[in-house]
Protein backbone atom coordinates (compact mmCIF):
# COMPACT_ATOMS: atom_id res chain seq x y z
CA UNK A 1 0.00 0.00 0.00
CA UNK A 2 1.22 3.48 -0.91
CA UNK A 3 -0.45 6.51 0.62
CA UNK A 4 0.46 9.80 -1.04
CA UNK A 5 -0.36 13.18 0.47
CA UNK A 6 0.34 16.26 -1.63
CA UNK A 7 -0.21 19.74 -0.19
CA UNK A 8 -1.51 22.26 -2.74
CA UNK A 9 1.05 25.03 -2.46
CA UNK A 10 -0.70 27.85 -4.35
CA UNK A 11 -3.92 28.31 -2.38
CA UNK A 12 -4.56 32.07 -2.05
CA UNK A 13 -5.77 33.84 1.07
CA UNK A 14 -9.46 32.95 1.40
CA UNK A 15 -12.15 35.59 1.82
CA UNK A 16 -15.89 35.36 2.40
CA UNK A 17 -17.73 34.06 -0.64
CA UNK A 18 -14.69 32.61 -2.40
CA UNK A 19 -15.41 29.60 -4.63
CA UNK A 20 -13.37 26.85 -2.98
CA UNK A 21 -14.14 24.36 -5.76
CA UNK A 22 -12.51 26.58 -8.37
CA UNK A 23 -9.59 27.37 -6.07
CA UNK A 24 -8.95 23.68 -5.33
CA UNK A 25 -9.24 22.63 -8.99
CA UNK A 26 -6.78 25.35 -9.94
CA UNK A 27 -4.43 24.20 -7.17
CA UNK A 28 -4.62 20.62 -8.40
CA UNK A 29 -3.88 21.74 -11.95
CA UNK A 30 -0.81 23.67 -10.82
CA UNK A 31 0.45 20.55 -9.02
CA UNK A 32 -0.19 18.42 -12.13
CA UNK A 33 -2.82 16.31 -10.36
CA UNK A 34 -5.92 14.99 -12.10
CA UNK A 35 -8.58 13.68 -9.74
CA UNK A 36 -9.21 9.94 -9.79
CA UNK A 37 -11.84 7.69 -8.22
CA UNK A 38 -11.02 7.19 -4.55
CA UNK A 39 -9.03 10.40 -4.08
CA UNK A 40 -9.69 12.53 -1.00
CA UNK A 41 -9.31 16.26 -0.44
CA UNK A 42 -8.50 17.32 3.12
CA UNK A 43 -9.15 20.95 4.01
CA UNK A 44 -8.16 22.96 7.05
CA UNK A 45 -11.16 24.28 8.94
CA UNK A 46 -9.98 27.87 8.64
CA UNK A 47 -10.54 28.17 4.90
CA UNK A 48 -14.05 26.73 5.19
CA UNK A 49 -14.90 29.15 8.01
CA UNK A 50 -13.41 32.09 6.10
CA UNK A 51 -15.25 31.26 2.87
CA UNK A 52 -18.50 30.92 4.85
CA UNK A 53 -18.02 34.24 6.62
CA UNK A 54 -17.63 32.91 10.15
CA UNK A 55 -15.60 35.94 11.25
CA UNK A 56 -16.57 37.78 14.42
CA UNK A 57 -15.13 41.09 15.56
CA UNK A 58 -14.78 41.07 19.35
CA UNK A 59 -15.46 44.80 19.46
CA UNK A 60 -19.06 43.97 18.48
CA UNK A 61 -19.61 41.33 21.21
CA UNK A 62 -21.38 42.23 24.46
CA UNK A 63 -20.61 39.61 27.13
CA UNK A 64 -23.37 38.25 29.35
CA UNK A 65 -23.14 38.23 33.14
CA UNK A 66 -22.26 34.53 32.99
CA UNK A 67 -19.45 35.21 30.53
CA UNK A 68 -18.06 38.02 32.69
CA UNK A 69 -18.09 35.82 35.81
CA UNK A 70 -16.46 32.87 34.03
CA UNK A 71 -13.90 35.09 32.33
CA UNK A 72 -12.80 36.45 35.68
CA UNK A 73 -12.17 32.92 36.97
CA UNK A 74 -10.24 31.66 33.95
CA UNK A 75 -8.45 34.93 33.09
CA UNK A 76 -9.77 35.24 29.54
CA UNK A 77 -11.42 38.03 27.58
CA UNK A 78 -15.12 38.08 28.54
CA UNK A 79 -16.09 38.77 24.92
CA UNK A 80 -14.31 35.62 23.77
CA UNK A 81 -15.89 33.63 26.60
CA UNK A 82 -19.29 34.88 25.46
CA UNK A 83 -18.66 33.46 21.98
CA UNK A 84 -17.49 30.17 23.49
CA UNK A 85 -20.73 29.90 25.46
CA UNK A 86 -22.82 30.68 22.37
CA UNK A 87 -21.03 27.95 20.38
CA UNK A 88 -21.30 25.27 23.10
CA UNK A 89 -23.83 22.87 24.54
CA UNK A 90 -22.09 22.56 27.90
CA UNK A 91 -19.00 23.75 29.77
CA UNK A 92 -17.15 20.66 30.99
CA UNK A 93 -13.90 21.89 32.57
CA UNK A 94 -12.16 25.20 33.22
CA UNK A 95 -8.74 26.34 34.35
CA UNK A 96 -6.87 29.64 33.96
CA UNK A 97 -6.47 30.23 30.23
CA UNK A 98 -8.62 27.31 29.06
CA UNK A 99 -12.25 26.32 28.86
CA UNK A 100 -13.25 22.81 27.70
CA UNK A 101 -16.71 22.49 26.22
CA UNK A 102 -18.99 20.19 24.32
CA UNK A 103 -19.39 22.06 21.05
CA UNK A 104 -22.80 22.38 19.42
CA UNK A 105 -21.48 19.99 16.77
CA UNK A 106 -21.13 17.27 19.42
CA UNK A 107 -17.41 16.93 20.03
CA UNK A 108 -15.38 18.04 23.05
CA UNK A 109 -12.73 20.70 22.45
CA UNK A 110 -11.03 23.72 23.97
CA UNK A 111 -12.51 27.20 23.56
CA UNK A 112 -15.26 25.89 21.23
CA UNK A 113 -12.66 25.77 18.47
CA UNK A 114 -12.63 29.56 18.20
CA UNK A 115 -9.36 30.65 16.63
CA UNK A 116 -7.33 33.84 16.77
CA UNK A 117 -4.14 32.58 15.09
CA UNK A 118 -3.69 33.26 11.35
CA UNK A 119 -6.90 35.34 11.41
CA UNK A 120 -6.47 38.86 10.08
CA UNK A 121 -10.15 39.35 9.37
CA UNK A 122 -11.66 41.37 6.58
CA UNK A 123 -10.39 44.92 6.63
CA UNK A 124 -8.21 46.42 9.33
CA UNK A 125 -5.60 44.18 10.92
CA UNK A 126 -6.05 46.20 14.11
CA UNK A 127 -9.60 44.91 14.56
CA UNK A 128 -10.02 42.10 17.06
CA UNK A 129 -11.12 39.32 14.74
CA UNK A 130 -11.71 35.70 15.67
CA UNK A 131 -12.96 32.81 13.56
CA UNK A 132 -15.73 30.38 14.53
CA UNK A 133 -15.91 26.80 13.30
CA UNK A 134 -18.11 26.13 10.26
CA UNK A 135 -21.77 25.96 11.20
CA UNK A 136 -22.18 22.46 9.70
CA UNK A 137 -18.86 20.95 8.54
CA UNK A 138 -20.51 17.76 7.23
CA UNK A 139 -22.75 19.85 5.01
CA UNK A 140 -19.81 22.00 3.91
CA UNK A 141 -17.86 18.88 2.97
CA UNK A 142 -20.84 17.41 1.12
CA UNK A 143 -21.45 20.55 -0.95
CA UNK A 144 -17.78 20.72 -1.91
CA UNK A 145 -17.70 17.01 -2.73
CA UNK A 146 -20.75 17.29 -5.00
CA UNK A 147 -19.22 20.22 -6.87
CA UNK A 148 -15.86 18.48 -7.32
CA UNK A 149 -17.54 15.30 -8.54
CA UNK A 150 -19.73 17.24 -10.96
CA UNK A 151 -16.73 18.90 -12.56
CA UNK A 152 -14.31 15.95 -12.48
CA UNK A 153 -16.79 13.09 -13.11
CA UNK A 154 -15.06 10.88 -10.51
CA UNK A 155 -16.00 9.81 -6.97
CA UNK A 156 -13.99 11.55 -4.25
CA UNK A 157 -14.09 12.09 -0.51
CA UNK A 158 -13.81 15.43 1.28
CA UNK A 159 -12.75 15.98 4.87
CA UNK A 160 -12.50 19.11 7.02
CA UNK A 161 -10.02 19.02 9.90
CA UNK A 162 -9.06 21.05 12.94
CA UNK A 163 -6.38 20.74 15.63
CA UNK A 164 -7.60 19.23 18.91
CA UNK A 165 -5.98 18.19 22.15
CA UNK A 166 -6.55 14.71 23.63
CA UNK A 167 -7.51 13.46 27.06
CA UNK A 168 -4.61 11.01 27.32
CA UNK A 169 -1.70 12.88 25.75
CA UNK A 170 -0.05 16.28 25.40
CA UNK A 171 -0.08 18.26 22.18
CA UNK A 172 -2.61 18.90 19.45
CA UNK A 173 -3.27 16.62 16.50
CA UNK A 174 -5.24 16.92 13.27
CA UNK A 175 -8.82 15.73 13.85
CA UNK A 176 -11.78 15.32 11.53
CA UNK A 177 -14.70 17.66 12.22
CA UNK A 178 -16.61 17.10 8.97
CA UNK A 179 -16.56 14.60 6.12
CA UNK A 180 -18.43 13.42 3.06
CA UNK A 181 -18.00 10.48 0.73
CA UNK A 182 -15.60 8.62 3.03
CA UNK A 183 -15.77 6.57 6.22
CA UNK A 184 -15.22 8.15 9.59
CA UNK A 185 -15.01 4.79 11.35
CA UNK A 186 -13.97 1.43 9.91
CA UNK A 187 -15.40 -1.51 11.87
CA UNK A 188 -13.11 -4.57 11.92
CA UNK A 189 -15.10 -6.51 14.49
CA UNK A 190 -15.69 -10.08 13.33
CA UNK A 191 -12.63 -10.13 11.07
CA UNK A 192 -9.62 -12.37 11.78
CA UNK A 193 -6.30 -10.97 12.89
CA UNK A 194 -2.88 -12.18 11.68
CA UNK A 195 -3.14 -15.33 13.80
CA UNK A 196 -6.76 -16.14 13.02
CA UNK A 197 -8.32 -14.75 16.18
CA UNK A 198 -11.61 -12.94 15.64
CA UNK A 199 -11.46 -9.25 16.43
CA UNK A 200 -14.08 -8.22 18.98
CA UNK A 201 -13.63 -4.52 19.69
CA UNK A 202 -11.38 -3.08 16.97
CA UNK A 203 -12.78 -0.04 15.19
CA UNK A 204 -10.41 2.19 13.23
CA UNK A 205 -10.84 5.96 13.42
CA UNK A 206 -9.82 6.15 9.77
CA UNK A 207 -10.85 9.78 9.29
CA UNK A 208 -8.85 10.94 12.30
CA UNK A 209 -5.82 8.90 11.20
CA UNK A 210 -5.89 10.60 7.82
CA UNK A 211 -6.54 13.98 9.45
CA UNK A 212 -3.39 13.58 11.54
CA UNK A 213 -1.34 12.65 8.48
CA UNK A 214 -2.67 15.58 6.47
CA UNK A 215 -2.00 17.93 9.38
CA UNK A 216 1.68 16.97 9.23
CA UNK A 217 2.03 18.29 5.70
CA UNK A 218 -0.26 21.28 6.30
CA UNK A 219 1.69 22.46 9.35
CA UNK A 220 0.33 24.23 12.42
CA UNK A 221 1.80 27.72 12.07
CA UNK A 222 2.47 29.85 8.99
CA UNK A 223 2.94 27.27 6.25
CA UNK A 224 -0.10 28.39 4.26
CA UNK A 225 -1.00 25.00 2.75
CA UNK A 226 -4.61 24.41 3.88
CA UNK A 227 -5.55 21.82 1.23
CA UNK A 228 -4.03 18.34 0.86
CA UNK A 229 -4.71 15.86 -1.93
CA UNK A 230 -4.71 12.22 -0.81
CA UNK A 231 -4.31 9.14 -3.00
CA UNK A 232 -4.14 5.55 -1.80
CA UNK A 233 -6.55 5.73 1.16
CA UNK A 234 -6.65 2.06 2.25
CA UNK A 235 -10.40 1.80 2.86
CA UNK A 236 -13.37 1.79 0.52
CA UNK A 237 -15.03 5.16 0.10
CA UNK A 238 -18.65 5.35 1.26
CA UNK A 239 -21.13 7.81 2.68
CA UNK A 240 -19.99 8.98 6.10
CA UNK A 241 -20.41 11.74 8.67
CA UNK A 242 -18.86 13.12 11.83
CA UNK A 243 -21.56 11.46 13.95
CA UNK A 244 -20.07 7.99 13.54
CA UNK A 245 -16.81 9.09 15.21
CA UNK A 246 -18.31 10.75 18.27
CA UNK A 247 -18.33 8.68 21.46
CA UNK A 248 -21.76 8.65 23.12
CA UNK A 249 -21.84 10.75 26.28
CA UNK A 250 -22.76 7.78 28.47
CA UNK A 251 -19.58 5.98 27.34
CA UNK A 252 -17.28 8.98 27.90
CA UNK A 253 -15.26 8.16 31.02
CA UNK A 254 -13.66 11.63 31.08
CA UNK A 255 -16.84 13.57 31.77
Strand partners, 161: 44, 176
Q: In this predicted model, what pLDDT tens digit does every residue of 33-86 receive, in sequence order?
A: 999 999 999 999 999 999 999 999 999 999 999 999 999 999 999 999 999 999
CA R_g for the chain: 19
pLDDT at 220: 64
Domains contained in the chain, CATH given: 4-54+133-248 (3.30.1330.100), 55-131 (3.90.1660.10)
pLDDT at 192: 72
**pTM of the predicted model as reported, rounded to 2 decimal places:** 0.90
- 3-state SS track over 225-244: CCEEEEECCCCCCCCCCHHH
- 3-state SS track over 82-127: HHHHHCEEEEEEEECCEEEEEECCCCEEEHHHCECCCCCCCCCCCC
Positions in the chain short of pLDDT 50: 222
Contact between 129 and 56 under an 8 Å Cβ cutoff? The reply is yes
Contacts of 83 (CB under 8 A, 6+ apart): 56, 58, 61, 112, 114, 130, 132
- CA-nearest of 230, 247, 227 to 45 is 227
Amino acid sequence: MTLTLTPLSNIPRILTGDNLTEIILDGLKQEGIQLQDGDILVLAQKIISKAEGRWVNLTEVTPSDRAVELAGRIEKDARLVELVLRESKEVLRTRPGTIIVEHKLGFVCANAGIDHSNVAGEGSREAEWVLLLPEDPDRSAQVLREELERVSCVHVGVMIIDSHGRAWRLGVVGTAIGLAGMPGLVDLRGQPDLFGYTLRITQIAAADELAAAASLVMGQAAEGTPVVHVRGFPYQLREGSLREILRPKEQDMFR
